[in-house]
A and B are shown apart, each in its own frame.
Chain A
């Protein structure tokens, strides 16, 4: 058995490298660790903590989007320190006009899901301590996001 220490990073293919670098640095606040104009790649991390937590590889403006019912990525998530940071993130996303997908109180986390410039779903979340969990949260939308969609509005039941 391999037994990794932890998850390290995710690499995604994007249509426009500069546009995605701008999004992941300006909106998500990641630090640009390295990039290559020749290789059309960029590497970013939170708090410059690792050589990268996300890699961006440009595949061109005509690249198709993956389909909902294909295998592969559903979403990837970044942890925030606490609910204050989540509320601030929510306000920031709204101010910058980033499309919000939905919000959910998962019990163990409170989560805001949104779209990156290529339509990839990104989540920011804060962990909720056991004593602060809402009983029977049932993935209800977050109280500060009353006008956004909830999980039931976007996820279809299984076939």
Chain B
């Protein structure tokens, strides 16, 4: 059996490298670790902790997008320090008019889901305190939306709207 130390990074294909570079540095606040313009790639990380946690690879403006029903990526998640940081992240996303998908208290985490410029789904989350998790009936499958974002859809509302969009 392979013994993994931890998850390291994810490489994402994007339509416009410059636009995505701005989004991941200015909105998400990642640091640029390396740029390889000849390959159309940028490498980014939180707190310069690794050579990269996200790399962006440009595939061109006319690239299509996978459907919600396809196999493959659902979302990528970034951990925040605590609930204060999550609230601040939510305000930041709203101020910058980043499309929010839904918010949810999963049980193990409180999470805000949103879209990058190519429609890739991202999550920012904070871990709930262990005593709070211990009180949850089903800590990986909580469905309540977050109290500080009453205007956003819940997880169930979001997936219902996707299903509706598919049938129309």
Residues of A within 8 A of B (CB): 1-15, 26-30, 33-34, 36, 39, 41, 43, 46-47, 49, 51-55, 57, 59-60, 63-67, 69-81, 85, 88-89, 92-93, 108-109, 118-120, 123-125, 127, 158-159
Give every chain B residue within 8 A of A27 (Cβ-Cβ).
1-2
A138 to B40, alpha carbons, bound, how many Å?
A: 16
Give every chain B residue within 8 A of A109 (Cβ-Cβ).
51
A84 to B78, alpha carbons, bound, how many Å?
A: 29
Q: With both chains docked as a complex, state the minimum distance between the C-beta of A3 and any C-beta of chain B, in angstroms.
A: 4
Q: With both chains docked as a complex, state the minimum distance between the C-beta of B81 and any C-beta of chain A, in angstroms.
A: 5
A81 to B141, alpha carbons, bound, how many Å?
A: 32
Is residue B150 within 8 Å, beta carbon to beta carbon, of the partner chain? no
Give every chain A residue within 8 A of B5 (Cβ-Cβ).
46-47, 78-81
In the complex, residue of chain A having the shortest beta-carbon distance to the beta carbon of B58: A158
Is residue B54 within 8 Å, beta carbon to beta carbon, of the partner chain? yes
Interface residues in B, total, Cβ within 8 A: 68
Contact B47 A5 (CB under 8 A): yes
Q: With both chains docked as a complex, state the minimum distance between the C-beta of A75 and any C-beta of chain B, in angstroms.
A: 5
**What are 16 A-to-B residue pairs whose CB atoms are below 8 Å?**
A2-B85, A3-B85, A5-B81, A10-B73, A12-B72, A27-B1, A27-B2, A65-B70, A67-B64, A71-B12, A71-B13, A75-B10, A77-B11, A81-B3, A88-B2, A88-B3
A55 to B27, alpha carbons, bound, how many Å?
A: 25
| 7 further interface pairs, Cβ-Cβ under 8 Å (given A12-B71, A73-B72, A77-B9) | A6-B79, A7-B78, A33-B140, A34-B139, A72-B13, A73-B73, A74-B57
Contact A1 B11 (CB under 8 A): no
How many A-B pairs have beta carbons closer than 8 Å: the answer is 235
Of all A-B residue pairs in the complex, the 5 with the closest CB atoms, nearest first, are A4-B78, A1-B29, A73-B73, A3-B29, A74-B11
Give every chain B residue within 8 A of A33 (Cβ-Cβ).
140
A64 to B71, alpha carbons, bound, how many Å?
A: 6
Q: With both chains docked as a complex, state the minimum distance between the C-beta of A121 and any C-beta of chain B, in angstroms.
A: 9
Contact B92 A10 (CB under 8 A): no
In the complex, residue of chain B having the shortest beta-carbon distance to the beta carbon of A127: B51
**B9 in complex: contacting residue of A3, A55, A76, CB < 8 Å:** A76
A36 with B53: in contact, given A4-B124, A71-B15 (CB under 8 Å)? no
In the complex, residue of chain A having the shortest beta-carbon distance to the beta carbon of B10: A76
Give every chain B residue within 8 A of A39 (Cβ-Cβ).
141
A8 with B4: in contact, given A63-B71, A65-B70 (CB under 8 Å)? no
Most interface-central of A4, A5, A29, A67 (chain B CB within 10 A): A4
In the complex, residue of chain A having the shortest beta-carbon distance to the beta carbon of B93: A2
Q: With both chains docked as a complex, state the minimum distance between the C-beta of A83 and any C-beta of chain B, in angstroms.
A: 13
